[in-house]
Amino acid sequence: MLKTETKLPTIPITEIEQSAFCTTDDELSSRTLDDEFAVGVRWQKLPIEYMRMKPEELDARIFEARARLGEMVVVLGHHYQRDEVIKFADFQGDSFKLSQFAASQENADHIVFCGVHFMAETADILSSPSQKVILPNLTAGCSMADMAQIDDVLDCWDDLEYVLGDNGGATPITYMNSTADIKALCGRNDGIVCTSSNAPATFDWAFGRGSRVLFLPDQHLGRNTGLKMGVDLDDMILWNPFKELGGNTEEDLVNAKVILWQGHCSVHTRFTVEQIEQAREKYPDVNVLVHPECTMEVVEAADYDGSTEYIKAKIADAPPGSVWAVGTEISLVNRLATQHPDKLVFCLDSVICPCSTMYRIHPAYVSWVLDGLNEGVVVNRIEVDEDTASEARVALDRMLSVV
């Protein structure tokens, strides 16, 4: 029996809030949390003393708390975090590198993950049972992950099994930017997790086992990867969770090689071909470098595309004097520009829009959770139940086998 019905579409709150921190100037410095609460997004409430602390007060307090905790705690900072948080990180990286690093820190009782919710979940799955993972602000979610709700994905999977059971089925691949429940679904259904850097390898892995892939939750990474792997655009279809059979016919599903979940990154879909054309007009020798979460048209118009780690390495290895227009999150672009003053590095989008959920990890939250640990209190712990973690770990281990 088919499960997916036509239903009213919903937009994740995290998507609606994405433009909250956008600005037309270059100033993204932290203010007091009390001031930042004026921005119309959801915030986790904190004791008033943290709300009103000035940046320099918070810096001193965090450094003192870190010194007292010593090796008991490790602080992880995702590349998209604001500089005022990144400076306290023991290790910087993308979501999977950070989770791997967390799992390797056997002396740390507590892992403070300055990122978003799905990243903290992955760290909890990969770390030891004795370690506690903390997300400083529980409202730091991910709009892309929120676009693939587990009930909708389960309905989709049931429909695909019903329609495709006698036609080769589908191998599920989920991007790291998904909930533990989605990773677990892939784990128990012979699927795999991917990162933006190893997505082509996971496609190879999947097509070595069957003729069809369900890719969650970012349609753009899935489409761009499919094209790189030689899959024709006509052989890729979109699954809209708000329509019966995802808006497709049974024949569409049988004939498809890649079924793309209708999700996207709110940051990377801001970049346009027009922005690339403007950059080339201003700087004829510019190198355009974008993330594969951008739309197909933007990736095709760029000179290079790749993961966050690829973007960092590409600019680091570039010759002095080279010019780079980058299509990824502004906090990382600004950091790369600072780290490489011998090159001109700028963001394709002139309107500065940090990832609004990442940006909710304000230093006040970091100070609050560290002070709690010094008092023996663990706040904002992220725990994945063992059944879900076990199944998700299967899909993550498969990913490691193809890296």
Residues in Cβ contact with 371 at an 8 Å cutoff, skipping those fewer than 6 apart: 61, 65
b/e code 248-265 from CB counts within 10 Å (16+ = b): beeeebeebbbbbbbbbb
Distance CA 58, CA 88 (A): 11
What stretch of H or E contains 93?
strand 91-93
> In which residue are the tokens 């052989």 written?
235
| Residue listed under structure tokens 């676009």 | 147
Q: Which helix (H) or strand (E) holds 227?
A: helix 219-228
H or E, element range at 146: helix 143-146
7-11, 84-88, 110-114, 382-386: which range is least confident on average?
7-11
Across the chain, mean pLDDT equals 90
One fold for 27-140+357-384 and 145-266:
yes
pTM reported for the whole predicted model: 0.89
Backbone angles phi, psi at 272, to 5 degrees: -130, 160
Please name the fold of domain 145-266: Rossmann fold (3.40.50)
Domain ranges (residues) in the chain: 27-140+357-384, 145-266, 268-347
Q: Which CATH superfamily is domain 27-140+357-384 in?
A: NadA-like (3.40.50.10800)
List pLDDT tens digits, range 293-319: 999 999 999 999 999 999 999 999 999
- Greater confidence (97 vs 263) lies with 263
In this model, does residue 33 exceed pLDDT 80? no
Helices 386-402 and 117-126: crossing angle in degrees, nearest 10, is: 90
Q: Which CATH architecture does the domain made up of 268-347 adopt?
A: 3-Layer(aba) Sandwich (3.40)
Q: 227: buried, middle or exposed (CB in 10 Å: 19+, 13-18, 0-12)?
A: middle
Rounded alpha-carbon distances, angstroms, from residue 239 to 42, 199, 336: 29, 19, 36
Please tell me the number of Cα atoms within 13 Å of 223 on its side-chain side: 23
Spell out the alpha helix ranges (H) of 237-362. 250-255, 273-282, 296-301, 308-316, 330-339
Determine how many CB atoms are found less than 10 A away from the CB of residue 87.
13
Rounded Cα gap, residues 334 and 259, in angstroms = 35
**Scanning the structure block, which residue is given the tokens 């199944």?**
391
143-196, pLDDT tens digit by residue?
Answer: 899 999 999 999 999 999 999 998 999 999 999 999 999 999 999 999 999 999
Crossing angle of helices 386-402 and 199-207, rounded to 10°: 90
Query: What phi and psi, each to the nearest 5 degrees, are found at residue 372?
Result: -60, -45
For residue 93, name the pLDDT band (cuts at 50, 70, 90). confident
| H helix intervals, 250-293 | 250-255, 273-282
262, 19 contact by CB (below 8 A)? no
Token digits for 108? 């740390």
**DSSP E strands: which ranges in 123-247?**
132-134, 171-175, 192-194, 213-216, 236-239
pLDDT grade for 16, boundaries at 50, 70 and 90: very low
